[in-house]
Amino acid sequence: MQFRSTIISNQEVSPGYFRMRLTAPPELSGASPGQFIMVRVRDAIDPLLRRPFGIFDVGTIKSEFPGLGSATYFEILYKVVGKGTEALSDYHHGDHVDVIAPLGAGFDLGDPAEEKILVGGGVGIAPLYYLARTLVQRSRVRFFLGGRTRDDILCVTEFERLGVETYVATDDGTLGDRGLVTDVMERHIREDGRPKTLYACGPMPMLKAVADIARRTATPCQVSLEAYMACGMGACLGCVVKGKGHSDDTPDYRCVCKDGPVFTFDQLKWV
């Protein structure tokens, strides 16, 4: 769907990180966790291209006035890194943006009986919240959250409020354990021993570490990737990543926007 969306709120939740709530057509309630949106930051030519963001949450607000019905909204959680996100952070309640959503293939929810392990790094937690909220209805969920420093650890309370057991680690030890959250997670997997499914989103080095753990512990694992995108709908072929079978002679490219952003770790080539 392409729709004109009204910004309901846009709050700085940690220095440089914003959480934005926007209106959506009712159909967006059908979006799967892991799907993403493309937003046209301004109706101008600078920035030119749309910017992709994971769906942090989707919901409906009931009107306070009986009979007025309810409105669908969604949220994104974003980090200010360049001119597009900077422009976004300037938006206020009541401003409008053009949105395409939902895009891409989301997470597979897996076997309800198995424990679900979510691993997020920095703003990579964005698609994991909606996933967690969906998963807790059927499965036990644990969340491992890493970041460089305290300010990069977002929304812990929100995850805990869902009943998700949350572990935090920071590189500098300013919040939670000092070190890599993936190490903490691996320990949990090994100690616990029961079958699990891994879901990860974050910077590439973290995803690699997670994929590595998945391989070593033979745990099913889904990762959500990022890539520079132009169209978001599988047409420009700008966003591809190397698939499992890729080599110079047998090229195997997958579109992050259409085939992903969520892939099982064994669909991809990890170099």
Ligand X SMILES: Cc1cc2nc3c(=O)[nH]c(=O)nc-3n(C[C@H](O)[C@H](O)[C@H](O)COP(=O)(O)OP(=O)(O)OC[C@H]3O[C@@H](n4cnc5c(N)ncnc54)[C@H](O)[C@@H]3O)c2cc1C
Ligand Y SMILES: Cc1cc2nc3c(=O)[nH]c(=O)nc-3n(C[C@H](O)[C@H](O)[C@H](O)COP(=O)(O)O)c2cc1C
Q: What does the alpha-carbon distance between residue 220 and residue 265 come to, in Å, rounded to a whole number?
A: 8
Applying the rule CB under 6 A, the residues between 218 and 247 that interact with ligand FES are 229-232, 234-239
Q: Please report how close the Cβ of residue 52 comes to its own copies at its closest, in angstroms.
A: 22
Residue 53 binds ligand X, judged by CB under 6 A: yes
What type of residue sits at position 157? T
Residue 52 binds ligand X, judged by CB under 6 A: yes
What residues line the site for ligand Y (CB under 6 A)?
236, 238
Looking at the chain, how many residues does it have? 271
Nearer to ligand Y by C-beta: 65 or 228? 228
What residues line the site for its own copies (CB under 8 A)?
44-46
What residues line the site for another protein (CB under 8 A)?
1-2, 40, 45-50, 98, 100, 227-241, 251, 253, 258
Nearer to ligand FES by C-beta: 201 or 231? 231
- DSSP assignment of 167-214 equals EEEETTSSSSEES-HHHHHHHHHHHH-S-EEEEEES-HHHHHHHHHHH
Q: Among 169, 207, 210, 257, which residue sits at the site for ligand FES (rule: CB under 6 A)?
A: 257
Nearer to its own copies by C-beta: 47 or 203? 47
Q: What does the alpha-carbon distance between residue 223 and residue 267 come to, in Å, rounded to a whole number?
A: 10
Helices 204-217 + 181-192 axis angle, to 10: 20
**216-235 footprint of ligand X as x/- string (CB under 6 A):** ----------xxxx------
Q: Please report how close the Cβ of residue 193 comes to ligand FES at its closest, in angstroms.
A: 39
Closest CA to 213 of 192, 198, 193: 198
Asked whether the beta carbons of 20 and 90 are under 8 A apart, the reply is: no
